Amino acid sequence: MDQSELRQWEQRCIQEEPPPCMAACPLHVDARAFIGFLQGGRWADALKTLHRVMPLPGILGRICDTPCQTACNRKEAGEAIRIGDLERACVSRTEDRRRVMPLPAKTHRIAVVGSGLSSLTAAWDLARKGYPVTVYVPEQEPAAFLLRSHPQRLSREIIEREIRLMTSLGVRFKTGTGFATAEDGQRCRKDHAAVYVGLDAVSPDPWAMAPATAAPQGSFGTTGDEGLFSGGDHPSPVWQTAQGRWAATTMDRWLQKVSPTAGREKEGPQGTRLYTNLQGIAPLTAVTPADPGSGYSETEALDEAGRCIQCQCLECVKVCAYLAHFGAYPKRYVREIYNNEALVLGERKANRLINSCSLCGLCEAVCPHDFAMQDLCLAARQSMVGRSKMPPSAHDFALQDMAFSQSDRFALARHEPGRTTSRYLFFPGCQLCASAPGQVPRVYDHLRHHLTDGVALMLGCCGAPAHWAGQQARFATELNLWKGRWERLGRPRPVMACASCLRIFKDHLPEADPISLWEILDEMELPPDRLQPRQVPLAVHDPCTTRGEETVQDAARRLLARMGVPYEELQLGRAHTECCGFGGLMQNANPALAREVAEKRGSRSGLDYLAYCAMCRDNLAAVDKRSLHLLDLLFPDPNQTDPSARPRPGWSRRRENRLRLREHLARELWNEPSAAAGTPLVLQMDSTVVDLLDARRILREDIEKVLRHVQKGGQAFHHPDSGHWLACFRPYQATFWVEYSPLDDGYRIHNAYAHRMEVPGP
């Protein structure tokens, strides 16, 4: 990812766009943060928020005409927040402890004419930049003009407090010095490096300024005369203030001989792309102060602040446990991933962020600007693999499991018995075979009965683990392996029981024209031994890989309806369905987060769940969510009285299920002899050890490899106190350690752990 790509990715995330109130304010006062502090009763912090961008807050905070309120999203659900009244309450009730430090002193003397808001703002900003400023006031006191303009909101004490702060910065006030003639104006300009004329308080006539160029919007206070600036010709107090600020910036740049306009595109009111979802926001009217003259009491202000919905997007973070887990949002994650890629030496702290994404695409589905975190993470994985920076431990177990599924121990490709051609190909996928192997033969028999043009059968893996791991070359190899088997069968149309397989082939092998098993079954008669209709509804969980596959989702629901099974939709379903924690290898890279994802998904409804993906069903079952598979209804196991309580098989059992299924099908359908296999070792383990090995992704056959290594003379260590033995073996990229005790007929396993890492040589 280069800088250009980084900017493009960052631009798609709108979370850091300003809220509408801030964007509409000419000064860009952060009203959201200001009110947020008030909601927590943090009055001093709220005042500091005003101080950051608001000049003369003691004055403007009382008379601001709040153009921000017209943009407030709250008006779509009640009334706009009374931001101006809250500002007034804050500056009236909070002690002002400002300490303003100017920049180092400059030599250019500046004159500011008038004591209106624009003039005082220009003087304030220029003084803070270090310029010696003299304010020429036509009246006999600096406060006179503002007192006359806003008698009900301002007092002499309030204005003089702000003026004292200005004098502490070195601003001088000369009262009774109006400029009545052109000669007065010329003399003033001659005595100063730059002059600002505040048109909100004085006449432009002595300055010979053409009205059309006095302060046109976007001119930043320039006039047709070099060194003469003006502003304030707007009836709005906040606009007068803003024009004084823009003119001060222009004067500073002019005096320093730099571009007066560069980098100022965001000054003044702006549009914003920030999206705020108002669904579920109850309409609330504004709080009315008991005494309108004095404004909000403290309690009333807190009540009004409490109506603010704190506009932000975070649509993706709200629904994605992965995005929420890392404590930020996509725009920040883009920067972390960019820095991770740019790192030459040192710890790559974003690796876990990159590898934990389930690649499900929910973020893109809910984002107003289609930010696809899954594309970013997948590209980062591919880059890391390509540069040999991907830790092998991240995806090793899944890749080893894929290799097993592609090996002769499980893989199989056969025409229907008695046929040499096939129109269709049933591909159940590796995980259905691992989860419920008994359903595969029953589904295959049903398909052969109804699809009379021949149905081939293929066992194996679609290569999704390699794709999810970012291993493009290996994925291409696995896909070509599948493609070769398919072509040798005559390219029959694949019928996919797994939504992930369907997604892989639609995206990467579209010429196969794959179709979902559910679409095929929906066109057939229902199995005669299906479960009888039930009264209690099920909650339908759509696999995340069916996002965008409405025909598949519809077919699953039609099958339920045809069976007389009532169902309900989850709050997040169909296009907005959530991942179960398996996709994208999240379960391998971050097991704790995967469990959190599954638990969150399972909490969406108190009903039993209906899934039509084997891993979705098993992952939900693993967090004690009662769930069943659609095939549990269509082709029920007569030995199971409650399919929703079927436990998730562990990783060792999943592999054993595939082994036995392959052997069963080869023997029963094609009369092939069983593959020669060594006699398995007798291993005794209590349930806690079984659970521990499953959590650590250590298979029974991994334990056997270590023990057979010892039988062949491998080293083992004996603990004299416990009597246990400890041995290790590295059969592939993982090193396994097993703590055991020999028995007369086998071994008792006490513990085991594995290191999936590479230690590079010198």
Q: Express each pLDDT in 316-342 by its tens digit.
A: 999 999 999 999 999 999 999 999 888
Closest CA to 57 of 154, 152, 126, 175: 154
Residue 345's pLDDT is 55
For residue 625, give both structure tokens. Answer: 């969510």
Nearest-angstrom CA–CA distance, 129 and 125: 6
Could you give the strand order of the β-sheet that contains 538-541, starting from the edge strand earlier in sequence? 567-569, 538-541, 609-611, 627-629
The amino acid sitting at 121 is T
Residue for token digits 């910036």? Answer: 249
Distance from C-alpha of 342 to C-alpha of 1, rounded to nearest angstrom: 9
User: Using CA atoms, how far apart are residues 240 and 525, in angstroms rounded to an integer?
Assistant: 77
Position with higher pLDDT, 350 vs 460: 460
Structure tokens at 423: 């129109």
User: What does residue 255 show for φ and ψ, rounded to 5 degrees?
Assistant: -65, -30
* Buried/exposed 218-231: b ≥16 CB within 10 Å, e otherwise: ebbbbbebeebbbb
Record the pTM. 0.85
Tokens 């702290």 found at: 349
pLDDT digits (tens, 9 = 90+) for 531-540: 877 789 999 9
Single-letter code of the amino acid located at 39? Q
Q: In whole angstroms, what is the distance from residue 45 CA to residue 28 CA?
A: 17
Band of pLDDT at residue 349, cut at 50, 70 and 90: confident
What pLDDT band is residue 552 in, cutting at 50, 70 and 90? very high
Tokens of residue 656, six digits: 């054993």
Q: 670, 693, 451, 543: which is closest to 555 by C-alpha?
A: 543
- CB burial class (10 A; 0-12, 13-18, 19+) of residue 561? exposed
Q: Distance between CA atoms of 55 and 50, rounded to whole angstroms?
A: 8
pLDDT band per the 50, 70, 90 thresholds, residue 304: very high
Lowest mean pLDDT among 368-382, 525-539, 707-721: 525-539
For range 665-690, the mean pLDDT: 86
pLDDT computed for residue 216 by the predictor: 45
7-21, 379-393, 402-416: which has the minimum mean pLDDT? 379-393
Q: Are 398 and 465 in contact (CB under 8 A)?
A: yes
β strands within 114-191, DSSP E: 133-137, 172-175
| 423-432 per-position pLDDT tens digit | 999 999 999 9
Yes or no: say if 661 and 440 are a contact pair by the CB < 8 Å rule.
yes
Residue 612 has pLDDT above 50, yes or no: yes
Instruction: Give the dihedral sign, CA 544/547/552/554.
Output: positive
Say which residues have a Cβ less than 8 Å from residue 477's Cβ, sequence separation at least 6.
Answer: 466
pLDDT band at 346 (very low <50, low <70, confident <90, very high): low
Which is it for strands 538-541 and 609-611: parallel, antiparallel or unpaired?
parallel
Looking at residue 292, its amino acid is P
Nearest Cα neighbor of 628 from 640, 616, 611, 613 is 611
pLDDT at 497 over 50: yes
Residue 344: predicted pLDDT:
58
pLDDT digits (tens, 9 = 90+) for 249-272: 999 999 999 998 899 988 999 999
Pairing of strands 725-729, 493-496: unpaired
Looking at the chain, the whole-number percentage of residues with pLDDT higher than 90 is 83
Over range 273-287, report the average pLDDT.
95
Tokens matching residue 573: 């379903």
Compute CA distances 323 → 328, 545, 605, whole Å: 7, 18, 22
Whether residue 652 is predicted with pLDDT greater than 70 in this model: the reply is yes
Cα–Cα distance measured from residue 24 to residue 14, given in angstroms and rounded to the nearest whole number? 17
Q: Residue 675: which pLDDT band, with cuts at 50, 70 and 90? A: low
When mean pLDDT is compared across 197-211, 384-398, 706-720, the lowest value belongs to 197-211
Q: Report helix, strand and coil shares of the chain as percent, to nearest 5.
A: 45, 10, 40
Q: Is the pLDDT of residue 414 over 90?
A: yes
pLDDT band at 758 (very low <50, low <70, confident <90, very high): low
- The count of other CB atoms within 10 Å of the CB of residue 100 is 12
Please give the mean pLDDT across all residues of the chain: 93
Q: Judge whether residue 757 has pLDDT over 90.
A: no
- Write down the pLDDT at residue 121: 97
CA 132 – CA 249 distance, rounded (Å): 15
Per residue in 121-170, pLDDT (tens digit) is: 999 999 999 999 999 999 999 999 999 999 999 999 999 999 999 999 99
pLDDT of residue 215: 45
Strand order in the sheet with 734-742: 683-684, 747-756, 734-742, 725-729, 716-718
Identify whether the C-beta of residue 34 lies closer than 8 Å to the C-beta of residue 48.
no
- The model's confidence at residue 180, banded by pLDDT at 50, 70 and 90, is confident
What secondary structure does DSSP assign to 83-99, as a single string? HHHHHHHHHHHS-----
Predicted pLDDT of residue 533: 78
Give tens-digit pLDDT for 683-695: 999 999 998 998 8
In angstroms, the CA 587 to CA 585 distance is 5
